Amino acid sequence: MDIPVEIVSDEEMAFIEAALSLCSPPLMAEEKIASDSEDIQMEIEESPLQRHRVHQRRALSVTDITSTEWCEKQMEFSLIHGRPEKTTAMRAGSARHTELEAEVLIRMELAVHTREDSWAVKLLNFITGANQLLFDGLTRELPIIGLVEGVWLIGVIDEVRMCELSGIKQPIMVDTKTRSQAALPSEPQKRNGRLQLMCYKFLWDNIVTEDFPSSSFFQYFGLHPQRILSKDIRKHIGDSGMGKNVQSLDDLVKFYKRTCKSLPSAHKSLLIRYELQADRSLLAEDDFLFEATSFENQLHLNLQYWLGQRAATFVAWDENWKCNYCSFSNVCPRVQILSQEKK
């Protein structure tokens, strides 16, 4: 049996938009003061989503959602100061995911020349993974994207298994998390991991039951639907049996939509596996059910911050221990308050 191929680009696409006005006449003093005030007001009113995602034509990620749930102030500081470097444990976790992916997928590099090519690779990886799931019952590192409450949300599902429960075949979302010590995670860590998997199920059900909003997709990410894809990508599409008619991103999106419609909704059962980093031994499995109401409430609460509808909040007082592991403790007012209380 042939192992399916996953495509990854040989470069990350970064898109920066700048707006410069070189032809406007100089402002008088009063006009300049008024203009500066307007600029300051505009900057204050701009939401974190607009400032850090929309202007860069980037989607909000599932990691953004889980990081916000973990600590909104930490998320805010990371947007301002940049994300801290990965820890040794984080790098070990990423390496383990690469190992698991290699068990079922062969990576293939294709040159990416345009923004359209970059998105074509993501869609092709989903199509490849979805076909593998239908024929082999398992796929890993599956990219997924959906429009939620008017916000584009993207993620990569660690593993999807096709299981038959009560006579019905349905996909089950699975996540493998590694632990540096032979100890189970705290309840807040478990809660955060569950939120991640529930995001994936929610996005999956979104794309298989709802019509993919192509126009919004092209507009938000600044894509030209009729732009012809690179020669390498078109060759791979032809070799994959999708047909020679798939030439542009729009053609591929239509094929992607048909693929989504061929998939069943995900099962409400979700699974997190906890492994010991040292020897890959299984520490425990957290098998839980998707809770639609609580999830949607949590997602809505997180999006309120990203949409600028409220300010970022600190962690709950009974979870102040998180501050001991935060890279921004030197600039966080909560940590300063706790330090003064200890004195």
Asked if 247 and 227 count as a contact pair (C-beta separation under 8 A), the reply is no
Specify if 29 maps to a domain.
yes
Specify if 340 maps to a domain.
no
- Alpha-carbon distance 162 to 265, whole Å? 11
Looking at the structure of the chain, the number of domains it has is 1
Specify if 325 maps to a domain.
no
Asked if 35 and 144 count as a contact pair (C-beta separation under 8 A), the reply is no
Specify if 95 maps to a domain.
yes
Over the range 161-189, which residues count as b (16 or more CB within 10 Å of their CB) and which as e?
bbeeeeeeebbbbbbbbbbeeeeebeebe
**Other CB atoms within 10 A of residue 59 CB:** 20
User: Mean pLDDT per 10-residue run, the chain (343 residues)?
Assistant: 42 32 32 40 74 95 97 95 78 78 77 94 95 95 96 97 90 95 94 98 97 97 96 91 89 96 96 94 96 97 97 94 91 80 61
Between the CA atoms of 32, 37, 39 and 45, what dihedral angle is there, to the nearest 10 degrees? -170
DSSP 26-54: PPPHHHHHHHHHHHHHHHHHS-HHIIIII
Q: Which of 313, 95, 67 is nearest to 188 (CA)?
A: 67
Q: Which of 121, 126, 109, 108 is nearest to 229 (CA)?
A: 121
Residue 83 is predicted with a pLDDT of 83
Specify if 158 maps to a domain.
yes
Residue 105 is predicted with a pLDDT of 75
Residue 62 is predicted with a pLDDT of 98
Residue 34 is predicted with a pLDDT of 40
Specify if 129 maps to a domain.
yes
Residue 13 is predicted with a pLDDT of 32
Q: Which domain holds residue 132?
A: 5-165+216-264+302-312
Specify if 143 maps to a domain.
yes
- Give the predicted TM-score (pTM) of the model: 0.83
Specify if 97 maps to a domain.
yes
Residue 140 is predicted with a pLDDT of 95
